[in-house]
Structure 1
Amino acid sequence: MDQLTASIIFITFLFVLLGSGVWVGLSLMGVAFVGIELIAGRASGGAMINIIWGASSSWTLTALPLFIWMGEILFRTRLSEDMFKGLSPWLGRLPGGLVHTNIVGCTVFAAVSGSSAATLTTVGRMSIPELRKRNYPEHLVVGTLAGAATLGLMIPPSLMFIVYGVTINESIRELFIAGTIPGLVLACLFMLYVGGYALISKKWNPIEDERMNIKQKLWNSRFLLPVIALIVVVIGSMYAGIATATEAAAFGVIGALVLAAAQGSLTLYAFKESLMGAVRTSAMIALILAGAAFLSLAMGYTGLPRALADTIATFELSRFELLMALLVFYIVLGCFLDGISSIVLTMAIVEPMIRDAGIDVIWFGVFVTVVIEMAQITPPIGFNLFVMQGLTKHPMSYIAKAALPMFLIMVLMAFLLIAFPEMATWLPDVLRNTPNA
């Protein structure tokens, strides 16, 4: 069977399964089964068992459920309320006022969660009522929260980096470190937009809180100490070379349990709910990864990834042109699939292309994560839009329109990464060149 026919069969069968509502992981396995049995002409049973076991028993993958559990525990604490109390005295006098608490709060929580949805829900359930009470523009509150929550995919510990690293067998620790500076730069771009809007808008008229002196501000900052300590334990242990990503995740779970107990939030019910929430999410991601591994094997048997890579190579695209094509491709794909599915579904084909083009795979992990972040706020499947709709009860069209400026800022960030790749590669290079790191 020629490669064109094989490609058509793969794509058609995959979209039929996805469109019929079959789980993504099972859809990937079904397509792989057809590929091996009918296209490659091989027995699929033994291969399926071996590849699924191999994909599911990776030690590196252990970090995933641990980081998810840490986020689930923190979701049930008073962390968001404490963050607002600690941040608002310092941010209230900036141009844009307390809207910055959306961005900084999401950035801080992203550093201990790794999940975009958990970041959005935790910060949003506290900041939205407070900002509404102070008469901040609703569209700005909604848009900045939906956009800034995507930092949960970029700021380590990022679940997206874990999935990407496992999929292409690259260092998760280096991916975490690579995402730090771009994540902070993106947060600063969001804040610049808010400040600029506040300075030029004629309708900007929020109710200001009573001014605090420096002593009062420092006293309120005590509310930030628990989350800062947790960030230092989780992220600092990896940066210092004390712990691997999996060990840092275990430290994070212990720290989250201690924090929840100290706040009086660690009830038996909350513990069970956090554990079951982590199990459900981890099982879903593990099934997708197992299906993707089996599909990659099937594609290898058919020679499809290499054939497509060779076909694209005949176009003689420059590095920039290839990245632009992938940028558009992932934005369109993100309109229909969640970020994790987009990564695992495409890496078997995309990885050979970027390696042949001489693109650093660690840098590309950061680049593709920025693009996947855009997918979180693009209809019709943008997951953050659904979460935001549940929090605010606004129509989906209103939320998507409010988040549009944040989407455009992410597009700008993608171009900045292309123009200044050192943003993502400098820290990993320092790590590699540091003895005993």
Structure 2
Amino acid sequence: MEFLELAITLLLVLCILLGSGVWVGLAMIGVGVVAMTFFTGRPVGSSMFSSMWMSSTSWSLTALPLFIWMGEILYRTKLSESMFKGLSPWMNWLPGRLMHTNIVGCTLFAAVSGSSAATLTTVGKMSMPELSRRGYSDFMTIGTLAGASTLGLMIPPSLTMIVYGVITNQSIPKLFIAGIIPGLVLATLFMSYIVLWALIFKPKLAKEKSMSLREKLYESRLLIPVFLLIILVIGSMYAGLATATEAASLGVGGALVLAAIQRSLNWNSFIDSLLNAVKTSCMIALILAGASFLSMSMGFTGLPRSLAEWVATFDLSPFGLLLALMVVYIILGCFLDGISAVVLTMAVVAPMLRDAGIDLLWFGIFVLVMVEMAQITPPVGFNLFVMKGMTHHSLGYIARAALPMFLIMILMAFILIAFPELATYLPSIMSDSPR
């Protein structure tokens, strides 16, 4: 069982580095150096530089900073205000009324953003003041926002999907398309939770003035920019007219045009959007570079193969393996952000999945549900901290409010296992296009 000793040793090194405050990307490089130096006879320097260079020059990665920049531009527009005005007339008849604008608003913004934090901030600054003014429950508003904003990771374009696609060599456009139906199903589950809450507790919610169909349609004109961006970005990829990178470029262009029309982007905010996009892109690039070197070093030690063979001795069914991985990702989500959890584990997990005959494209959507859960899992759930910065409530209060959404995501994971076609159907009919 030497490989278990090796695994425990490297895990301890990783925990020490992360616990001492070392950046995730540098911590992975450190673990790779220890593995190569003490457990293989390979030269560290040349292996490190070649693996990090190859991961950093992947053409698929060029879509990443563009989608991040698109989200930064949209965050600075009046899109959130327009979405609330356009959605609210259509939500008023549902049990829970305008609370559903949190879910639908997050779903729509997720389709033009790619970041859960950007989705939460943008939709939150739109809906929280309006819902509070109308007397809606803070507990429900905060919980539904924290949970629904994670749809920014599931509904394309998703930054985590791009990272996963690069690591596992999966088609990024196909991953994007695979996330559409599961994302909509998850949004429907969130809305069903609001309906049940309203039917059980019967809260006294302010009635909005009634509108004729013509008036509702007139207000819906404010949603046109969102739908045009969705068609531009997702439609161009689904039709095979654009790769992920080209679609991202179209999205940036569309966001700039929208900002220009609304006159909401001046020179200072334009520079801020660029700088924030560069900072986020560099952070993710460092994590990817570290993950690439760590994956190479793990391959040289033979650890992934040994672990896969060891797991095979338990004779786990594919369902049992997925349950075990679900527990692992839930635990990791308590301490790591989603992208870090994915890149840290795929070097070991991918061989196991291939041996078990599990489709890596499908697993990309499954693991995204796990990553979404990590966004609202204490103590380091990123969305919890973002929400704390937007409200006067404690992290404990926000985590309790988001707990039902966490449980719904667990249900979604089982739905994906029971009905894998939710993630595989659209990619199967999508024409092959270059990554």
TM-score (norm 1): 0.98
Measured in 1, the distance between the counterparts of 2:147 and 2:105 equals 12
- Counterpart for residue 82 of structure 2: 82
Measured in 2, the distance between the counterparts of 1:393 and 1:121 equals 15
> Residue type matched to 1:169 in 2?
N
Deviation digits for residues 52-93 of structure 1, max 9, x if unmatched? Answer: 110000000000000000000000001100000000011112
**Unaligned runs of at least 5 residues, structure 2:** none
Measured in 2, the distance between the counterparts of 1:245 and 1:283 equals 19
- Counterpart for residue 267 of structure 1: 266
Measured in 1, the distance between the counterparts of 2:312 and 2:4 equals 16
How far residue 5 of structure 1 moved from its aligned partner, in angstroms, is: 2.7
> Residue type matched to 1:39 in 2?
F
> Residue type matched to 1:314 in 2?
T
Answering whether residue 371 of structure 2 is matched by residue 372 of structure 1, we say: yes
Measured in 2, the distance between the counterparts of 1:298 and 1:289 equals 14
The 5 Å alignment of 1:22-421 reads 22-202=22-202, 204-421=203-420
On the 8 A contact 2:243/2:433 being kept in 1, the answer is no
Deviation digits for residues 169-222 of structure 1, max 9, x if unmatched? Answer: 1101110010000000000010111011111114x0111121111111111111
Deviation digits for residues 86-125 of structure 1, max 9, x if unmatched? Answer: 0001111211100000000000000000000000000000
> Residue type matched to 2:12 in 1?
T
SS in 1 for 2:179: helix
> Residue type matched to 2:241 in 1?
I
Structure 1 residue ranges, 4+ long, deviating more than 3 angstroms after superposition: 434-437
> Residue type matched to 2:85 in 1?
K
Measured in 1, the distance between the counterparts of 2:207 and 2:390 equals 24
On the 8 A contact 2:186/2:409 being kept in 1, the answer is yes
SS in 2 for 1:113: coil
- Counterpart for residue 6 of structure 1: 6
> Residue type matched to 1:170 in 2?
Q
Measured in 2, the distance between the counterparts of 1:41 and 1:2 equals 17
How far residue 436 of structure 1 moved from its aligned partner, in angstroms, is: 11
Measured in 1, the distance between the counterparts of 2:208 and 2:305 equals 61
> Residue type matched to 1:162 in 2?
I
- Range with bigger deviation, 213-222 or 64-73: 213-222
SS in 2 for 1:270: helix
Measured in 1, the distance between the counterparts of 2:96 and 2:2 equals 58
> Residue type matched to 2:40 in 1?
A
What is the number of equivalent residue pairs in this alignment?
Answer: 435
Pair 382,242 (structure 1): closer, same or farther in 2 beyond 3 Å:
same
- Range with bigger deviation, 33-42 or 293-302: 33-42
The 5 Å alignment of 1:423-434 reads 423-432=422-431
> Residue type matched to 1:115 in 2?
S
Pair 143,290 (structure 1): closer, same or farther in 2 beyond 3 Å:
same
Measured in 1, the distance between the counterparts of 2:6 and 2:26 equals 20
SS in 2 for 1:348: helix
Measured in 1, the distance between the counterparts of 2:204 and 2:264 equals 37
SS in 2 for 1:232: helix
Measured in 1, the distance between the counterparts of 2:139 and 2:211 equals 28
On the 8 A contact 2:243/2:434 being kept in 1, the answer is no
How far residue 254 of structure 1 moved from its aligned partner, in angstroms, is: 0.4
How far residue 392 of structure 1 moved from its aligned partner, in angstroms, is: 1.1
Measured in 2, the distance between the counterparts of 1:243 and 1:20 equals 44
Measured in 1, the distance between the counterparts of 2:102 and 2:114 equals 16
On the 8 A contact 2:76/2:264 being kept in 1, the answer is yes
Measured in 1, the distance between the counterparts of 2:182 and 2:42 equals 45
Measured in 1, the distance between the counterparts of 2:214 and 2:27 equals 58
How far residue 148 of structure 1 moved from its aligned partner, in angstroms, is: 0.2
> Residue type matched to 2:428 in 1?
D
Deviation digits for residues 34-53 of structure 1, max 9, x if unmatched? Answer: 11111112211111111111
Deviation digits for residues 223-251 of structure 1, max 9, x if unmatched? Answer: 10111101100000000000001100000
> Residue type matched to 2:45 in 1?
G
On the 8 A contact 2:85/2:222 being kept in 1, the answer is yes
How far residue 2 of structure 1 moved from its aligned partner, in angstroms, is: 3.2
Pair 173,333 (structure 1): closer, same or farther in 2 beyond 3 Å:
same
Identical amino acids, percent of aligned pairs: 65
Measured in 1, the distance between the counterparts of 2:61 and 2:208 equals 46
How far residue 435 of structure 1 moved from its aligned partner, in angstroms, is: 10
Give me the CA root mean square deviation. Answer: 1.3
How far residue 393 of structure 1 moved from its aligned partner, in angstroms, is: 1.8
SS in 2 for 1:243: coil
Pair 311,64 (structure 1): closer, same or farther in 2 beyond 3 Å:
same
> Residue type matched to 1:17 in 2?
L
